[in-house]
Amino acid sequence: MYRKNTKGWLKHLDFLIWDLLLLELAFFIVYAYRIGVFFPFSPLYQRMAIAIVPAHLITVFFGNSYRDMIRRDRYAEFKKVCVHSFVVIALLIFWMFLSQNSYYYSRLLVVSMLPVSVVLVYIERLLWKRVIRKRLRESKKERQILVITTKEGSEAILQALQQDFYRTYGVSGVVLYDGADATGQSILDVPVVAEMASVFDYIRAHVVDEILLDLEGYEAVAEQLLNQLVDAGLTVHVTLPQFSQSIRNKQIHSVGNVTMVTSSMNLVPQWKLAVKRIIDIVGALVGLLFTGIACIIFAPIIKHQSPGPLFFAQERVGRNGRTFKIYKFRTMYPDAEERKKELMAQNKMQGLMFKMDNDPRIFPIGHFLRKASIDELPQFLNVLKGDMSLVGTRPPTMDEYKQYDMHHLKRLAAKPGLTGMWQASGRSDITDFEEVVRLDAYYIENWKLSLDFKLILKTIRVVFSAKGAE
């Protein structure tokens, strides 16, 4: 899934809200100083506090207050803040005269707002820009882009990416379509990481979130690559000369001075993913309360039946190849992983996952914990940390991931989840791995918040009915 870029003034919605809050605070401070009471306001000044809102919005929309916001130095920012505050105060004075109540307002109070608002808004912008710059640096670790280009166009496209000040991605490497002997070299400090013949092997072995195709003159190759990469669950950006009307789920945007078309399994607005994350955090906090209760009840039984750790931690593969440790209540004897090789012949899953009836590695209470899905409760910690989501795809083990074909990678285009299409459809009743891939792909391609709620409710019904549980 790809987060759609926020456009226009929405890009700086945070500054719009912060500035408004500080303008109101400046008004409160001046009112308290001049009138002698911080709160409540007289009805007359209540209307003025409300009038600050449209005055601020008009100034933002017609004054280009936030253009090049992050790039501006401190002096340029101070000038912008002075102009912004002056226009807001001027609009308030104009409103006072239009309301025909100007005689009752303290003009000195309104004018005194100017220096106070300038100081408050200026400090707020400097501090918030520091926060944003830090977020931009950190977010580059969250989105890794691999560039596939030509020798001739490599420097131009890499310069455009590096000059994009608002970028929220890191360029992990470059592949030259016509540079078979360039692996190991660098272009503008970006390493050439693979040849075209081995690009899919590189993608499987490394964290790659997005691909940028800049193959001017090789349009047919670019379109074929795009379809293969999107089918593997990757987000693909194509420079405009290679644009094809057949590109699915597309969005046009610019990086520096380069116009691109982005294609992905699903293009999702940022606010929806933000809401999903908030739901994850709230759900995880509630879930951890139940995890604590389960610890009190089952920890002594687990320790009695199988001495060893209470929790089982295992390396799993998450979004686009990132690895993390998943946590569960331990339901198997300590030598379970070693004994798995002996039991592979009894695997009832058709594909890369392992399931068997009457697994001898599970100790008695473990069967109950699995049947009731209580063993999954510690994964709420993974959800809280951000490794997982409440709803997503099942995270594969390292052994499973190493056997993946390219089309299996589409399962990793979203965060793994505590539940998902596979679990809600019957868990162990589904034994064909390709069917699991199909269900996960459907979830990613059709994701919406309402689908998450439906799957959570369906999972609760499945758990209480013990359908497909082992």
Which pLDDT score, from 0 to 100, does residue 179 have? 73
Q: Are residues 164 and 218 in the same domain?
A: yes
Residue 51 and residue 104 share a domain: yes
User: What number is the average pLDDT over the span 291-314?
Assistant: 92
- 384 in any annotated domain: yes
DSSP string covering 42-87 = PHHHHHHHHHHHHHHHHHHHHHTTTTTTTT--HHHHHHHHHHHHHH
Q: Are residues 133 and 150 in the same domain?
A: no
Alpha helices (runs of H) in 140-183, residue ranges in sequence order: 151-162
- Our measurement of the distance from residue 383's CA atom to the centroid of its chain's CA atoms, rounded to an integer in Å, reads 13
Same domain flag for 285 and 417: yes
Output the CA angle 22-28-31, nearest 5 degrees.
140
Mean pLDDT of 101-106: 69
- Residue type (1 letter), 167: R
**Separation between Cα atoms, residue 414 and residue 317, nearest integer Å:** 11
Mean pLDDT of 157-170: 75
Q: Do 255 and 283 lie in a common domain?
A: no
Angle between helices 107-139 and 74-98 (to 10 degrees): 140
Give pLDDT tens digits for 349-379. Answer: 555 666 666 777 888 898 899 888 899 999 9
pLDDT tens-digit map of 443-463: 999 999 999 999 999 988 887
Is it the case that residue 131 has pLDDT exceeding 60? Answer: yes
> Which two three-digit tokens encode residue 29?
């401070």
Residues 461 and 318 in one domain: yes
Residue 233 tokens read as 């669950």
Q: How far is it, in rounded angstroms, from Cα 412 to Cα 415?
A: 7
Whether residue 226 is contained in a domain is answered as yes
User: Do 416 and 327 form a contact (C-beta atoms < 8 A)?
Assistant: no
Same domain, 202 and 283: no
Look up residue 249 and give its DSSP letter.
S
Inter-residue contact 319 to 414 (CB < 8 Å): yes
Residue 359 covered by a domain:
yes
pLDDT on residue 5: 57
**Sign of the Cα pseudo-torsion (436, 311, 382, 454, in order):** positive
| Least confident range of 141-145, 191-195, 272-276 | 141-145
Residue 10 is assigned to a structural domain of this protein: yes
Q: How far apart are CA 172 and CA 193, in angstroms?
A: 9
470 in any annotated domain: no
Do both 458 and 312 map to the same domain? yes
The pair of structure tokens assigned to 459 is: 């999972």
- Per-residue b/e over 8-24, b at no fewer than 16 CB within 10 Å? eeeebeebbebbbebbb
Lowest mean pLDDT segment, chosen from 74-88, 128-142, 345-359, 437-451: 345-359
pLDDT at 103: 66
149 in a domain, yes or no?
A: yes
Report d(CA 57, CA 87) in Å as an integer.
11
Helices (H) and strands (E) in the chain, counts: 15, 14
407 burial level (CB within 10 Å; 0-12, 13-18, 19+): middle
The H or E element containing residue 317 is: strand 311-317
Residue 248 lies in a domain: yes
Number of neighbouring beta carbons within 10 Å of residue 293: 11
- Cα end-to-end distance, the chain, whole Å: 31
Contact 69, 130 (CB under 8 A): no
Q: pLDDT at residue 239 above 70?
A: yes
User: 90, 109, 139: which is the final residue of a domain?
Assistant: 139
Residue range 9-56, pLDDT digits in tens: 556 788 899 999 999 999 988 888 877 765 566 777 788 888 999 999
Q: Note the pLDDT of residue 423.
A: 78
Same domain, 21 and 164: no
Higher pLDDT, 100 or 326: 326
| Side chain identity at residue 214, one-letter code | D
**Rg value, the chain, Cα:** 28
- Provide the residue range defining the domain that includes 301: 270-465
State mean pLDDT over 241-264. Answer: 71
* Poorest-pLDDT segment among 196-200, 352-356, 357-361, 383-387: 352-356
Whole-number average pLDDT of the chain: 84
Domain boundary (139, 154, 188) is at: 139
Residue-level pLDDT at 285: 95
* Same domain membership, residue 351 and residue 245: no
- Domain identity same for 250 and 305: no
Domain count, the chain: 3
CATH at residue 239? 3.40.50.720
Residue 205 tokens read as 């072995």
Mean pLDDT to the nearest integer, 174-182? 83
Which one of 94, 124, 139 terminates a domain?
139
Per-residue confidence (pLDDT) for residue 38, from 0 to 100: 58
Per the structure block, which two tokens stand in for 348?
């009832």
**Residue 294 banded pLDDT, cuts 50, 70, 90:** very high
User: What confidence tier does 68 reach under pLDDT thresholds 50, 70, 90?
Assistant: confident
Question: What is the distance between the alpha carbons of residues 231 and 406, in angstroms, rounded to a whole number?
Answer: 8
Is the per-residue pLDDT at 424 higher than 60? yes
- Residue 171 covered by a domain: yes
Q: Is there a single domain that holds both residue 253 and residue 311?
A: no
- Strand segments, DSSP code E, in 74-160 are 144-149
The backbone torsions φ and ψ at residue 444, rounded to the nearest 5 degrees and listed phi first, read -65, -45
